[in-house]
Amino acid sequence: MPNTEKPETTSVRDEIAELRRHVEKLLSERVEPQLAHAADTARTAAQAAGNVVKSDVEAILQQVRAHPVAALAIAAGLGFLVGRVWR
């Protein structure tokens, strides 16, 4: 089957194909590495935050074990206050 496209149409298609290749090259060379770096940074921050929370929970548990009566009184007081506020 002979090519019945006009030369202008073929030229436009070639330009679009070249632009597509250029965009794909830019994405793979510049955008993907930056996304990988951002993901690594986010992962590191999430791990650090998790470590802080874990440390804080462990400190609170130690205080509760060391002073159970005071912890119970604080919990009861907070429960009372929350109950009063929500009425």
Q: Tell me: the pLDDT tens digits for 23-73?
A: 999 888 988 999 999 999 999 999 999 999 999 999 999 999 999 999 999
pTM score > 0.75 for this model? no
In this predicted structure, the answer to whether residue 87 has a pLDDT above a threshold of 90 is no
In this predicted structure, the answer to whether residue 8 has a pLDDT above a threshold of 80 is no
In angstroms, rounded to a whole number, what is the distance separating the alpha carbons of residues 16 and 76? 70
Report whether 75 contacts 82 (CB < 8 A). Answer: no
Helix (H, G, I), strand (E, B) or coil at 28: helix
Report whether 54 contacts 47 (CB < 8 A). Answer: no
